[in-house]
Chains A and B, each alone.
Chain A
Amino acid sequence: MSVDLPTVKKIASLARIAMDDAEAAALLPELNNILGWVEQLGEVDVSGVEPMTAVIPNTLRLRDDVVDADPLTGGGVRDKILANAPEPQHGFFGVPKVIE
């Protein structure tokens, strides 16, 4: 499978990376090169093989339902949450107006 220019632009749009035609055109052969190369995986007989889920056998640990048990993963830290915000606004993050 190889991609064409409209596909490159569509992927860029899906990935939210602004890209003009020249940039997309430059990326096109690189992507096709890489995609062509990874396609050799198609040769591998994977019948009956499950996709990898956990590389090291381990089961999912669950957390107790306790609020702010660990300050590093708890709430009540608005100053920290907003410390790096490009546009903090009265305790909110400001973004360009969204019309729903």
Chain B
Amino acid sequence: MSDYRIQGETGEWEVVIGLEVHAQISTNAKLFSGASTEFGAEPNTQVSLVDAAMPGMLPVPNRECVRQAVRTGMALGANINKYSRFDRKNYFYADLPQGYQISQLYHPIVGEGQITVSLDDKDPDAPTKSIGVERIHIEQDAGKLMHDQHPTMSYVDLNRSGVALMEIVSKPDMASPAEAGAYVRKLRAILRYVGSCDGNMEQGSMRADVNVSVRKPGYELGTRTETKNVNSVRFVQAVIEQEAKRQVELIEGGGTVVQETRLYDPDRNETRSMRSKEDAHDYRYFPDPDLLPLELDDDFLAECRASLPELPDAKQARYESVLGLTPYNAATLIADADTARWFEALMAEGARIQGKDEKDVATASANWLLGELYGALNRLGLSLADSPVSPERGAELIALVADGTISGSIAKQVFEIMLETGDPAAKVVADKGLKQTSDTGAIEAVVAKVLADNADKVAQYKDGKEALFGFFVGQTMKAMQGKANPQVINEILKAKLA
């Protein structure tokens, strides 16, 4: 993957990619006001006098925004700057009521960190690559313009104005669309683990500015372009492909790449120059005189650290080494914070009701979640969050298999009923009379009948066709409507056929 190359007329070109990801910090209120951040409200109903930049209004920062940015930085193993400042980025636009965005240029809250990505998600043994994070800073989001409501006017909605964002700036460490995709996915997973951003790219709570340049291998960095506000992993990759191709063609055609801001048009799958925002930017950054320096004390940092959950890499390692899960299962379960949380609830409940260690129920839990439950959810078109069966109910079902109350195949039937009725497994088993029998006498009687009815096959078995053992098990199970303990059937059959 890192040998991704653009084949030009003059030879091969490398691509150099850096990403600036804007992630909306999950908070109730905005960065500098008490207005709500909830998505989808009526226009201008979640706007305070502060957000509308009325004369004399002043910003007071929201502690939770600071806390979440710090926790995110810690999750990326980054330096947390105990001293940071807010700066004003000055420019005029209708979605920017103050005429400046409060951001952090000179002293960001988080310094260098890194994200380790797998170079092939499908292969747990694939090599990994460490992508540097340059910095994370906190800033205000802008409002929204609607252009299609009126023939000669645009409409301004300030509901998003002042919502807190983290800008997570990577180093130009990525060399292919796939690496960039893996970076965004991994970053999103970490943000969701930390709880600092919901990672919802469709609603715009996470979006990326994609910096792309090309160069001949071994040469200096080329001039980069920045494609703004790309809002899906797929589009990030498409931007890189298109932009790299465009730049190579441009250079090979005798042109030069201009450092500029571009927009991605998903319908045409192309980037184009954003002329309207391009006029001689001089942002005149300076420290916001309405805000003092932000100084974090040790207690604050200690709380941030103590409240961090186990992160994906650590979790995967633990799932493999402590719980004994396969690398594939472990990787699948940790890829998303909600899945891991679901799995751990399932496993914990299973261990509790079975009186066992978590590691002793881990594999059965993982297999059931990734096999039965995922299969059912896929079929029903539901996400894990909407699962009709809770982790507690799932654990009860798994426990019934583990203690021999029902067989694995009965468990599948029970689960189907649970999906429809929401009833606990034990109730389904009782109502439908699905309890498995381990009654040796009853099983012996059935086995005897099966062997008598199939005397020819018994003869063949005894002649060495041992594969028929499964046939006898199946016939016995069938005769007992699946409710016999397969272990007991095995033992009895073995004795009878010996």
Contact = CB atoms under 8 A, between A and B. Distances in A.
When A and B assemble into the complex, do they touch directly, with CB atoms less than 8 Å apart?
Answer: yes
A92 B155 contact: yes
Interface in B16-72: 27-29, 33-36, 42-52, 60-66
Size category of the A interface is: 35 or more
A82 B49 CA distance: 10
Contacts of A13: 280
A66 B35 CA distance: 9
A92 B34 contact: no
B46 A75 contact: yes
Contacts of A75: 33-36, 45-48, 51
B154 interface: yes
A73 B50 contact: yes
A13 B91 CA distance: 11
Given A59-B292, A78-B44, A90 B155 contact: yes
B422 interface: no
A94 B145 CA distance: 10
B44 A91 contact: yes
A73 B33 contact: yes
A99 B153 contact: no
Nearest to B293: A53
Contacts of B155: 89-90, 92-95
A54 interface: yes
Interface string A58-89: 11111111111110111111101110000101
A69 B61 CA distance: 14
A46 B204 CA distance: 46
Nearest to A72: B49
Interface residues of B, number: 54
Contacts, number: 157
A43 interface: no
B291 interface: yes
The 7 A-B residue pairs with the shortest CB-CB distance, nearest first, are: A75-B35, A92-B155, A65-B64, A62-B63, A74-B34, A93-B156, A60-B292
A82 B292 contact: no
Contacts of B145: 95, 98, 100
Given A54-B292, A59-B295, A97 B34 contact: no
A34 interface: no
B276 A100 contact: yes
Interface in B261-314: 263, 274, 276-277, 280, 282, 284, 287, 291-295
Contacts of B33: 73-75
A96 B85 contact: no
7 contacts: A14-B282, A62-B66, A63-B29, A66-B28, A78-B47, A92-B43, A97-B147
